[in-house]
Amino acid sequence: MELLTIQCWVHDADSDAGRIFPVEISAGKTVGDLKDVIKNKKSVDFRDIDAEALDLYHITLPDDDQRLEVELDQIKTSSHNLKSRLNPRARLSNLFKPDLVGDEMHLIIIKAPTSPTKPPVTVPDMVLNCWVRGQQIDRIFRVETSTTKTVGDLREVIKNKTPVDFRDVDAHHLTLYKFIRPCDDSLENTLRDLTISQLEKPLLAVHTLSTVFELPPVEGCLHLIVGMWHL
């Protein structure tokens, strides 16, 4: 099958005729295959974009630098002359036929989706000491989280921190109680004699941790009691 050399151009505000680039592909291949070739050719530009997310358009333009620049400028501002995007299943042999008039050239215009904004990396800025009701006091454990997270998120962190204890419990079944007490010699007796009347209401999943705890949380203290459903 004939090997095609296809001229390509990325539809971009900073792109001009000088950034047209060629790719080679068999005429028996499809538009979907062409997307893969383009992505591999421009692996840096399209490193965060899947090949199938590229939209390709076929157009014929004058093979003259000055006129070509004018046409591309019009396309950048108004998508001038762009027809419907190419079907990934279409055969290239049906698109690139040697029937051009005069000084025309085939051109594939590439439109890439706007790269999705990556969510900001959440940096832990809060350390909480937790105790699961019914366990020994020496099983108090620390979790790191962020003040921007919610109580619901904190449940997930706690479940992941103690996967054996909560292997048969969904995170949303955990009940969290704010309970600030110094980790001193009296804590063991306090926890052993603890009744539900001494606890505040369970924390609601939608509450942001920055609204629940004093910032930064007091060091050397127990901050949370963890139960399942109700104590």
- CATH code of residue 36: 3.10.20.90
Residue 192 amino acid letter: R
Asked if residue 119 is part of any domain, the answer here is no
Domain closes at, from 111, 138, 173: 111
Is 62 within 8 Å of 103 (Cβ atoms)?
yes
For 69-92, how does the pLDDT look when each residue is reduced to its tens digit (9 = 90+)?
A: 888 888 887 755 577 889 999 999
Looking at the fold, whether 144 and 104 belong to one and the same domain comes out as no
What is the residue range of 41's domain?
3-111
Q: Structural domain tally of the chain?
A: 2
Domain presence at residue 183: yes
Query: Is residue 190, in this structure, part of any structural domain at all?
Result: yes
158 and 89 in a common domain = no
Q: Do 106 and 160 fall into the same domain?
A: no
93 and 153 together in one domain: no
Domain boundary residue, one of 80, 111, 142: 111
Task: Answer whether 0.85 is exceeded by the pTM.
Answer: no
Q: What CA–CA distance (Å, rounded) separates 75 from 82?
A: 8
In sequence order, what are the beta bridge partners of 144?
127
- Evaluated on CA atoms 78, 81, 84, 89, the torsion sign reads negative
**Which residues 6+ apart lie within 8 Å of 160 measured at CB?**
none
Are 58 and 10 in the same domain?
A: yes
Same domain, 96 and 34: yes
- pLDDT, average across residues 117-134: 80
Sheet holding 221-228, edge to edge: 141-145, 126-132, 221-228, 174-182
Asked if residue 81 lies in contact with residue 107, where contact means CB atoms within 8 angstroms, the answer is: no
Whole-angstrom Cα distance, residue 56 to residue 10? 9
Report the C-alpha gap between 132 and 130 in whole angstroms: 7
Residue 116 located in a structural domain = no
Do 156 and 71 lie in one domain? The reply is no
Q: What is the pLDDT of residue 202?
A: 94
Residues 38 and 79: their CA atoms lie apart, in Å, by 21
pLDDT tier, 24 (very low <50, low <70, confident <90, very high otherwise): very high
Average of pLDDT values for 34-42? Answer: 95
What six digits make up the tokens of 134?
Answer: 């019914």
Question: End of a domain among 53, 87, 111?
Answer: 111
Residue 82 in any domain: the answer is: yes
